[in-house]
Amino acid sequence: MNEEDIKERVREFLAANDPAADRLGFLRARFDAGLAWVHFPPGLGGLGAPRELQQVVERELESTPQLRPGVQAIGLGMAAPTILAFGTEEQQRRFLRPLWTGEEIWCQLFSEPGAGSDLATLATRAVRDGEEWVVDGQKVWTSGAHHARWAILVARTDPDQPKHRGMTYFVCDMQAPGVDVRPLRQITGEAEFNEVFLTGVRLGDDLRLGGVGDGWRVAQTTLMNERVAIGGAPARRGGGMIGLVTRTWRDRPELRDHDLHQRLVRLWIEAEVTRLAGARLREQLAAGQPGPEGSGMKLSFATLNQALTGLDLEMHREEGLGYDDWSFRRSESVDFAGRDIGYRYLRAKGNSIEGGTSEILRNIIAERVLGLPSEPRVDKDVPWKDLPR
Amino acid sequence: MTSLLYTEVEEELRSAVRDLLADTCAPASVLAGLGSPPDPGVWKALAGDIGVAGLLIPDEYGGAGASAREAAVVCEEIGRSASPVPFLTSAVLATRALLAAGTPAAGALLTRLASGETTAALAVSFAASPYSAVGGDVRRDEDGTLSGEVKAVAGADAASVLLVPSGSTLYAVRAADATTRPVPSLDQTRPLSTVTLASAPAQAVGEGIGDALLYGAGLLASEQLGVAEWCLSTTLAYVKERHQFARPVGSFQSIKHRLADLWLDVVRARAAARNAADALASAEDPGLAVAVAQSWCADVAVHAAEEALQLHGGIGMTWEHPLHLFLKRAKSTQIALGTPGDHRTRTAQLADIPAPA
């Protein structure tokens, strides 16, 4: 299948479906036509076509109803690739369509108060009871749990195994009895995150994703996709956060000084070479030569975003002393570039923590890409239940 | 269609150059040869047998008619081996100046350069920025001869023809009619000379030097990428093998994190250098791509060499380890063909990031 075939498909689809009519109906039809994510298999929103042809579809359907990337990010970027890789056919048919159309929002129940960078030490238990699992534990930093219909969940099913081996991956029904979502106020003043308490939550065995005890391997798929999703650099020169700051610089000559100028030019260059590295990575993926560069994109994104938002705030001088709104509210979606300069500065602080801290990412690069030896591990072959905590 | 990857042809050229340099010009032998004139056989084989001397010269003059993309791959390999060969000075800088001249006299010279029989050097300071005028050091007298002195000329020691800008004209001068005096250079693998002309006979070959310095700056980014890659891979090998506290030093996070950050800088240097080479090879204006690549890669090469030295500990400080060749080359190329500051100033202009009034 090539670019022309895809364009022909889009033409046929548009001839049969009016984008100006019902938004949801249009998105459902787009999924059914295989134009949701063309690299997915037929019947699951795709055409089994090469991944790079997706951008052709996006261009052709630019002016039609779009997804809501903010609230759908976890579903699209993390849950979907995991369900595709490990879900049964029944699970794929049940979950992928409403996930893509946004009828059902997803969140991620991974981190716990006692398991952050060391995610594999997590303590939420899932105990088998006939055809069901009973889940008890506490999850934290759960973006969008207050909107979510479903969650991807990792829980401990065998405490006698070493920590990486005794976990299982589930889809959690966020409407099930025993799921309690509580907002967690952040330094921005709003609550984008939540704490999620799971008390005697019963999940059918048909909600298990992958084998019993195979949770860590399944979770790796989610985590790799998360880093690519967060670190995805803007494809356009001068786009993203650097574009925002540079526009202000051009529009507001009174804010300029020499020190800021030198720093801004350096950051502009860093943003540009990072964008080029991202473009090169996408070319490698499309050419079927996956490079290890992906692990670095999220790390550079965090560093750059923090430097840029800091400079932006400083540049605004007196205006930077204010803040748009401290009132406590639930966020509608995750938006790094939204609201005002103070919010963006504070929100960016999370970029080097969420989705793998920058320190953990440096370990991953050092060990998996550069082949450097790991630190001595004291917890490797010890049953999880005997680990100090 | 623009691509930041390497084509099969480019990879073949790379492995031919790499094999030859590994056989004839490994860092240890470069080190051993410091202070004596470089073995002309290396350049002869590279220029003639592989044909890199005529890489950028069109078919009509007997060259390969290749583009900056292929030349960049050669630069990477030269950087990776710190080879003392006049590729950048003759096959890039002098060649681009002659191509810009476009006269029959320039064409005749290009034919000689393409075959590798003649090597040329552009008689401007290696520190000259592409954003400033050249040609002020040499005057033309009424009898048509040239007089003056040009300092810090790279590649003049290996050249039999000097291309000398004077005012707005470019002249060819036989090296035998000029005095080329090598001076002690920070980078001994690319020795600099003072070129003195005293009523030297000269032939006008064209107007100005065209885009030679900008083109050279763009390709120098690929050489800097090669330098940085050597520093990174050599350091990785060392920290995996060197033990202290009964562990490889590369297992300590303080070391791993520095190397992860350095790797990320090199990944971005590769993308920037490829982008500059691709822009020079295409019809688009390469100005911004070159300025971005040169400002980024120059600093990354220096940083990589400095990190390599620190992470090698005491052995990195010794003359017998080849690391200092790469440090000296990195630091010299940071100054060459415009400093990172010059290229950032240019970037600001081209990206519309105006300076304060």
The torsion defined by the Cα of B14, B81, B37 and B339, in degrees rounded to 10, comes to 100
Q: What is the mean pLDDT of chain B?
A: 96
Cα-based angle B187, B191, B195 (whole degrees, multiple of 5): 140
Residues A160 and A179 in one domain: yes
What span, in angstroms and rounded, lies between the C-alpha atoms of A153 and A170?
Answer: 5
The reply to whether A279 touches chain B by the CB within 8 Å rule is yes
pLDDT of B216 > 90? The answer is yes
Please give the share of chain A, as a percent, with pLDDT higher than 90. 77
Residue from A292, A295, A269 nearest B272 by CA: A269
Q: Nearest CA of chain B to the CA of A271: how many Å?
A: 10
Q: Which residue, A19, A44, A66, sits at the end of a domain?
A: A66
| Selected catalytic residue, list A226, A270, A332, A367 | A226
Q: How far apart are the first and last CA of chain A?
A: 54
Which of the listed ranges A41-45, A53-57, A276-280, B35-39 does the model predict with the highest average pLDDT?
A41-45
Residues A206 and A318 in one domain: no
Residues A166 and A193 in one domain: yes
Amino acid type, A159: P
Does an H or E element contain B98, and which?
helix B95-101
More confident residue, B26 or A336: B26
Residues A142 and A273 in one domain: no
Could you tell me which residues are beta bridge partners of residue B207?
B169
For residue A190, is it within any domain?
A: yes
pLDDT of A244 > 80? The answer is yes
Q: Which residue, A18, A40, A66, sits at the end of a domain?
A: A66
Amino acid type, A207: L
pLDDT of A325 > 80? The answer is yes
CB-based contact A264 B271, cutoff 8 Å: no
| Tens of pLDDT, residues B82-138 | 999 999 999 999 999 999 999 999 999 999 999 988 999 999 999 999 999 998 999
Cβ(A373)–Cβ(B251) below 8 Å: yes
Residue from A316, A325, A355, A350 nearest A336 by CA: A350
B259 contact residues in A (CB cutoff 8 A):
366, 370, 372
For residue A205, is it within any domain?
A: yes
CATH code for the domain of A210 = 2.40.110.10
Query: What mean pLDDT comes out for the span A234-259?
Result: 90
Provide the number of structural domains found in chain A.
Answer: 3
Q: What is the pLDDT of residue A281?
A: 86
For residue A266, is it within any domain?
A: yes
Which tokens sit at B49? 């047998």
Please give the share of chain B, as a percent, with pLDDT higher than 70. 100
Which tokens sit at A267? 């950051």
| Tens of pLDDT, residues A111-157 | 999 999 999 999 999 999 999 999 999 999 999 999 999 999 999 99
Q: Nearest CA of chain B to the CA of A9: how many Å?
A: 24
The minimal CB distance from A284 to the residues B5, B269, B347 is found for: B5
Cβ(B82)–Cβ(B327) below 8 Å: no
pLDDT-based confidence at residue A240 (cuts at 50, 70, 90): confident
Residues A61 and A74 in one domain: no
Quickly count: other Cβ atoms within 10 Å of residue B75's Cβ.
29
Residues A79 and A56 in one domain: no
Query: What mean pLDDT comes out for the span B160-167?
Result: 97
Residues A247 and A298 in one domain: yes
For residue A96, is it within any domain?
A: yes
Query: What mean pLDDT comes out for the span A194-206?
Result: 97
Q: Domain ranges in chain B?
A: 8-118, 121-207, 212-350
* CATH code reported for the domain at B8-118: 1.10.540.10
Q: Which residue of A has its CA nearest to B248?
A: A373
Residues A208 and A255 in one domain: no
Mutation to test the B interface, candidates A237, A265, A267, most B Cβ within 10 Å: A265
What span, in angstroms and rounded, lies between the C-alpha atoms of A131 and A168?
Answer: 15
The minimal CB distance from B260 to the residues A246, A273, A370 is found for: A370
Query: What mean pLDDT comes out for the span A32-55?
Result: 92
As separate numbers, helices (DSSP H) first and strands (DSSP E) second, chain B gives: 11, 10
Residue from A197, A203, A64 nearest A129 by CA: A203
Task: List residues of B whose CB lies inside 8 A of any A CB.
Answer: 3-5, 236, 239-240, 247-248, 250-253, 255-257, 259-261, 263-264, 267-272, 274-275, 292-293, 295-296, 344-345, 347-348, 351-357
Alpha carbon separation from B92 to B98, B119, B218, B355 (Å, rounded): 10, 11, 10, 33
Task: Report helix angle B68-81 to B253-281, nearest 10.
Answer: 150
Residues A80 and A203 in one domain: yes
Residues A174 and A268 in one domain: no
Alpha carbon separation from A226 to A73, A75, A221, A234, B150 (Å, rounded): 9, 10, 9, 16, 57
Cβ(B191)–Cβ(B157) below 8 Å: yes
Q: Nearest CA of chain A to the CA of B268: how many Å?
A: 5
Could you tell me which residues are beta bridge partners of residue B172?
B163, B203
Residue from B11, B13, B76 nearest B226 by CA: B76
Which tokens sit at B137? 């050091």
CB-based contact A370 B236, cutoff 8 Å: yes
CB-based contact B264 A299, cutoff 8 Å: yes
Which tokens sit at A337? 């570039």
pLDDT-based confidence at residue A231 (cuts at 50, 70, 90): low
Which tokens sit at A212? 């019993």
Which tokens sit at A365? 């690069």
pLDDT-based confidence at residue B220 (cuts at 50, 70, 90): very high
pLDDT of A230 > 80? The answer is no
Q: Which residue of B has its CA nearest to A284?
A: B5
pLDDT of A363 > 60? The answer is yes
Which tokens sit at A354? 């969420």
| Tens of pLDDT, residues B284-337 | 899 999 999 999 999 999 999 999 999 999 999 999 999 999 999 999 999 999
Query: What mean pLDDT comes out for the span B164-188?
Result: 97
Q: Which residue of B has its CA nearest to A364?
A: B260
* CATH code reported for the domain at B121-207: 2.40.110.10
CATH class name, domain B212-350: mainly alpha
Residues A147 and A245 in one domain: no
Please give the share of chain A, as a percent, with pLDDT higher than 70. 95
The reply to whether A371 touches chain B by the CB within 8 Å rule is yes
Q: What is the pLDDT of residue B246?
A: 95
The reply to whether A272 touches chain B by the CB within 8 Å rule is yes
Count interface pairs A-B at CB distance under 8 A. Answer: 135
Q: What is the mean pLDDT of chain A?
A: 92
Q: What is the pLDDT of residue A284?
A: 81
Q: What is the pLDDT of residue A223?
A: 81
For residue A227, is it within any domain?
A: no
CB-based contact B248 A373, cutoff 8 Å: yes
Residues A73 and A61 in one domain: no
Any catalytic annotation for residue A318?
A: no
B272 contact residues in A (CB cutoff 8 A):
272-273, 276
The minimal CB distance from B271 to the residues A238, A268, A277 is found for: A277
What's the domain range around A122?
Answer: 69-214+380-389
CB-based contact B256 A361, cutoff 8 Å: no
Q: Which residue of A has its CA nearest to B246?
A: A376
The minimal CB distance from A366 to the residues B259, B348, B354 is found for: B259
Q: Which residue, A9, A32, A66, sits at the end of a domain?
A: A66
3-state helix, strand, coil split of chain A in percent (to 5) is 50, 15, 35
For residue A224, is it within any domain?
A: no
Residue from A179, A197, A214, A202 nearest A129 by CA: A202
Does an H or E element contain A129, and which?
strand A125-129
Residues near A137 by beta carbon (within 8 Å), at least 6 away in sequence: A112, A122, A123, A124, A125, A155, A198
CB-based contact A269 B253, cutoff 8 Å: no
Cβ(A181)–Cβ(A203) below 8 Å: no
pLDDT-based confidence at residue A289 (cuts at 50, 70, 90): low
Burial of B141 (0-12, 13-18, 19+ CB in 10 A): exposed
The minimal CB distance from B352 to the residues A250, A366, A370 is found for: A250
Q: How far is CA B213 from the centre of its chain?
A: 11
CB-based contact A362 B236, cutoff 8 Å: no
Q: How far is CA A207 from the centre of its chain?
A: 21
For residue A367, is it within any domain?
A: no
The minimal CB distance from A373 to the residues B250, B292, B295 is found for: B250
B3 contact residues in A (CB cutoff 8 A):
283
Q: Nearest CA of chain A to the CA of B240: how many Å?
A: 6
